[in-house]
Amino acid sequence: MTTAFTDLLACRVPLQLAPVGGGVGTTQLALAVCEAGGVGMIHSLDAAPLSDRLAWLHERTSEPYGVGFFGFHLAHLAAELELAASQARVIDVFWSQPDADTVTRIHDGGALVFWQVGSPAEALEAADAGCDVIVAQGVEAGGHVRGTTPLLDLLDEVAPKVDVPVVGAGGIATRDHVRRAFDAGASAVRVGTRLLATTESAAHPDYLAALVAAGDEDTELTKAFHVGWENAPHRVLSRAISTARDAEEPIAQLLHEGRQVPIERWSALPPTTACTGSVTAMAMYAGAGVGAITEVVSVDAVIDLLFGVE
C-alpha cells in the first residue's frame, strides 16, 4: 500500500508503532514492526540507556525507526535528542505546543519530525513550525490523551488543511478502523494497544490477559494515575481503577538493577514483565478499540490483520 507516508519514510506499510514509554514498548517490539514493514518506535524514557537501544536497532535493521520524546522533557534531554536525531529516521514529539526551533534542531540532526496533536489548531501550528508529519490523536487513544475530539472528526478537520502526511491515532485495532482513518484523510495509522498485545511486547502477562478480556466499553478517560505526571488525561482499562482503589500499598514492585522498587498507588507506570504484585492495579493503558483484541499474537499477525488481503 503506497501513500504519502510510505513514500516519505520508504517503508512498506503505512503504520507507525506508538512510542510507548514505561518499559512496555521494547526494542524487540520496535524491531518486529520495522521488519513487518511499518515504522518501529522506542521512547526516550526507559531504564536502558537510549544510546544502547539505538545501537541495538542499528545492528539489526536498515528499516526506518524512531524515538518518541515528551516536549516538556526536551530542555533536559538535549544530548539524547541530538543523539536520536543523528541516528533515527524519526523524532516524534508529544505533549507540548509545536515549536519551530525544536523542529530545526531535529532537522539539523538529519531526522524527520513527527508532532502528535489533539486539535485542528495545534495541527496547523505543527505544519507552520515545519513538521514533516502530523499525528492526529483522537480521544479514543490509550495512554495519555491530548485531545478531546473523536479521531475521524479530527482527521476530517486536519487532513484537508495541511500539506504534509497525517497519521491517524486512537483506537485503531481492526482493518475497518484502518479503512475509516484513510477515508477520513489519513496517510498512515499509529497503533499502540493492539501492538502491545503481542508476543514481542514487554507488557505483563496479567496486563495482556486484561486487554484480551476487555470490551470496547471497558476503558475510561481519567486523571487517576497521576503520580509522576499530574493533571494529564489518560485512557486505561476501568478494571485498573477499581482494583487500585482496593489495593494495599505498595501495590507492586519493579525489578530494577537487581533491586525491588516499590510502586505506589496511582503511579503512571504501566505493568511490565519486570513487575510483581498487584499489577492489575497499575496503569493498564488501553485504547477504545480494545474490544477487538481477542488473543495475543505476533506483530506480523497484527500487521496482516490490519492490512492483509481479505
* Boundaries of every domain in the chain: 4-199+294-307, 205-290
Distance of alpha carbon 234 from alpha carbon 226, whole angstroms: 9
pLDDT at residue 309, as a whole number:
60
Q: What angle do CA 285, 286, 291 make, to 5 degrees?
A: 155
Q: What is the pLDDT along the chain (310 residues), one digit of tens a residue?
A: 899 999 999 999 999 999 999 999 999 999 999 999 999 999 999 989 999 999 999 999 999 999 999 999 999 999 999 999 999 999 999 999 999 999 999 999 999 999 999 999 999 999 999 999 999 999 999 999 998 999 999 999 999 999 999 999 999 999 999 999 999 999 999 999 999 999 999 999 999 999 999 999 999 999 999 999 999 999 999 999 999 999 999 999 999 989 999 999 999 999 999 999 999 999 999 999 999 999 999 999 999 999 986 5
Angle at which helix 78-87 crosses helix 50-60, to 10 degrees, equals 0
Amino acid at 11: C
Question: What are the Cα distances from residue 96, in Å, to 36, 40, 61, 102, 277?
Answer: 31, 22, 31, 11, 34
User: How far is Cα 125 from Cα 23, in angstroms, rounded to an integer?
Assistant: 31
Map grid coordinates 488481503 to a residue.
309
Domain 4-199+294-307 falls under CATH 3.40.50.720:
no
Q: What pTM, to 2 d.p., does this model score?
A: 0.97
